[in-house]
Amino acid sequence: MKAVILAGGRGKRLRPITDYVPKPLIPLNNVPIIEWQIKYLKKYGVKEFIICTGYRTEQIKNFLETKNNLKVKIRFSEEKTPLGTGGAIKKLRKWIKNESFIVINGDVITNININNLKSKTNTIASIQLKTKFGILDVKEDKIVNFSEKKQVEGLWMNAGIYYFSDKIFKDLPSKGDVEKTTFPKYAKEGKLNIIKFRDVEWYSIDSFKDMEDCSIRIKKIIKN
């Protein structure tokens, strides 16, 4: 099985680190995010990877080309100008034919069992969002009732992991995000599936707090 890692973003919210290092190479416990991801996907039988790059491509290539211990096949698809997630995936049509494949955002660390996605194609992995918010009842410009931090449940969030049929290529934009183009279209047509995951570990590395929290847990999340 092939996996696509979307690793082309600039990671602006992690500046100044990402002014010098691309987001996929940010270390968590001294191991870059992208290495953790490859180790995670290998556990589920993925042996071929396509890395979609854009920002600081050479640094990512240089790192992975010298990591002999990963023992996987890696190809790189470089964007000269940003194509969005949909355009980045569509560009891979020449390499993925007559097969289904995994796509993962390049900043996601998780222990989701991707084998569970294979029951249906064009499937999004979703995690249950459990969080607390202060609830405000507002009338015009006045708060008429204030309830502190009620638990909000029953909400499902896109986990940034997808299982696609190669037939999706014809419906992807040449430029644009799959989440804003193909997914809404497929949802209206009843062609977009979901697999729900409860009680899993999941991090999207978008802030310094994400880095800190994930670094504490990561060795338990991705076990060798």
The catalytic residue positions are 149
Are 47 and 1 in contact, with CB atoms under 8 Å apart? yes
Handedness of CA 163, 165, 167, 169 (dihedral sign): positive
- Cα 53 to Cα 89: distance, rounded to the nearest angstrom: 11
**Relative orientation angle of helices 33-42 and 57-65, to the nearest 10 degrees:** 50
Single out the residue of 4, 71, 23 nearest to residue 208, CA to CA: 23
- Cα 180 to Cα 170: distance, rounded to the nearest angstrom: 16
